[in-house]
Structure 1
Amino acid sequence: MQEGRFIYLAGFGVEKRLILATAKNIREVFGFEVRFSYITLSPRLGYNPYRRQYHASTILESLSRVHYPDMLKFAALLSFDLYEEGLNFVFGLAQLGGRYAVVSTYRLKSEDERLFFERVFKEVNHELGHTLGLMHCKNKKCVVRFSNSLQDVDAKSRFFCENCSKILPKP
């Protein structure tokens, strides 16, 4: 098992209720306790005025300087639109086998709050799965399956399939 015992969670421009619900989701799915980080980001960090989006890798790189002695993983929820070179947008980004992940709530919104929260949980679980070494899965219901649209997000579960679950570390 890796060093650390807690998954740290930070929010930037997202409601406290969503952060608290996401922490509960992380405890339920991964079995790790969650602590909250109150770091700040420069408001223009990674902003591309031509695209009117934020570069996900730039934000991820900045967050990777954050470290807590008892930290297993670090996930950030962001309210703004993210992109990566060559893509129109990304729902999130993570360091494969690393510690850090970011998820944008921007394109996950719905008038149905339950659906919105569920989408966020799925993308957080997806990105944390990558930090735990999981690649994209071919199982249509597995949370670590690649999502290119909201329909893809809505079609999958917020849980890992049996094969991916076997790979995940236990708390």
Structure 2
Amino acid sequence: MGYIYIVSFGDVEDRLLLADASNVKEIFDLEVRVSTVKADIEEAYNPQRNQYHAGTILSYLSRVVYPDMVRLVALVSFDLYEEGLNFVFGEAQYGGKYAVVSTYRLYHPDERVFFERVFKETNHELGHTFGLKHCPDPYCVMSFSNSIDEVDRKSRDFCPNCRRKLDYVLSYYR
């Protein structure tokens, strides 16, 4: 059996990391470990955009390996983008082991709302690592979010169809 690792760099509160770990344990039913990583991600920074390139961060993360790791998701506090997009809430290696979620655009002064948004995006990106694609159900956590309103609309859980696919893949890790 392995673990899903939740790591952070930047100004991500320990309370958020621990809360997200509980969320992941509940939704994916796998053990979770929380850690921090030292990251030199300046190569990902684009000064013209004042943002960090998500794909470059994923490449950096792929060098972080734990022997008992099933997946790794990094929470970061800075704004992310991908080519052709103004910003991304997160990005994952489809069917791979690594994902990154930015808290930057998910912030809300109500901590409950803020944490819930982070949970949704963590679950969404981890879903991609387990081979799930975007879902047409706007309430499924796997629905594509192009705005914060779309993040707020969806659930932090998977629709029955996506849950069935996810449970099949997760059965190999339990």
Give me the TM-score of the superposition, normalised by structure 2: 0.94
Which of 33, 37, 48 in structure 1 is aligned with 2:31?
Answer: 33
Bigger proportion of residues as helix:
2
Supply the distance in 2 between the matched residues of 1:40 and 1:34 (Cα, whole angstroms): 19
SS across alignment from 1:37: strand
Could you give the per-residue CA deviations for residues 130-167 of structure 1, whole angstroms, max 9, x where no partner exists?
A: 00000000011100100000000000000000000011
Q: CA RMSD in A?
A: 0.9
Supply the distance in 1 between the matched residues of 2:54 and 2:63 (Cα, whole angstroms): 15
Which residue of 2 is the match for residue 103 of structure 1?
A: 101
Question: What's the offset of the Cα at 1:45?
Answer: 3.5
Mapping 1:12-161, distance limit 5 Å? 12=9, 13-161=11-159
SS across alignment from 2:162: helix
30-39 vs 94-103, greater mean Cα deviation: 30-39
Contact persistence 2:106–2:117 (CA under 8 A): yes
Which of 9, 14, 27 in structure 1 is aligned with 2:6?
Answer: 9
139-148 vs 35-44, greater mean Cα deviation: 35-44
Supply the distance in 1 between the matched residues of 2:43 and 2:121 (Cα, whole angstroms): 22
Contact persistence 2:41–2:57 (CA under 8 A): no
Q: Which runs of 5+ in 1 are unaligned?
A: none
Supply the distance in 2 between the matched residues of 1:97 and 1:61 (Cα, whole angstroms): 15
Count of matched residue pairs: 168
Supply the distance in 1 between the matched residues of 2:36 and 2:149 (Cα, whole angstroms): 33
The aligned amino acid for 1:6 is Y
The aligned amino acid for 2:29 is G
Contact persistence 2:18–2:34 (CA under 8 A): no
SS across alignment from 1:122: helix
Question: What's the offset of the Cα at 1:43?
Answer: 5.0
Supply the distance in 1 between the matched residues of 2:141 and 2:37 (Cα, whole angstroms): 28
Contact persistence 2:41–2:60 (CA under 8 A): no
35-44 vs 100-109, greater mean Cα deviation: 35-44
The aligned amino acid for 1:11 is S
SS across alignment from 1:96: coil
Give me the TM-score of the superposition, normalised by structure 1: 0.96
Deviating 4+ runs (over 3 angstroms): none
The aligned amino acid for 2:113 is L
Supply the distance in 2 between the matched residues of 1:20 and 1:125 (Cα, whole angstroms): 15
